[in-house]
Amino acid sequence: VGGWHYHTGDVFVYVISGEFVVDVEGQGRQQFRPGEVYHEAVKTTMQARNPSTTERTSLILFQIGGKGEPLMLVAKPPRR
């Protein structure tokens, strides 16, 4: 489980194997399987995880960012 964060540029995640689960602030939980792509929109607070304790998740991640900008910034968890 990763920490809550957001990106300064668009991120595209392609799932090779396993499962990829994303909790997006204000949008709830989304689950992706092999062959599916997830787009992380700019400045959208989210948290990602591998939901399995026995199976690995393999991903290809492509991220676009501005020169000199951090690729990821830590965010506070949303209030529930």
Query: Could you give the CA distance from residue 52 to residue 24 in angstroms, rounded to a whole number?
Result: 19
In this predicted model, what pLDDT tens digit does every residue of 28-54 receive, in sequence order? 999 999 999 999 989 999 999 999 999
Query: Could you give the CA distance from residue 7 to residue 63 in angstroms, rounded to a whole number?
Result: 9
Give the model's confidence band at 12: pLDDT under 50 very low, under 70 low, under 90 confident, else very high.
very high
pLDDT, mean of residues 48-72:
93
Side-chain half-sphere CA neighbours of 16 within 13 A: 6
Query: Could you give the CA distance from residue 70 to residue 80 in angstroms, rounded to a whole number?
Result: 28
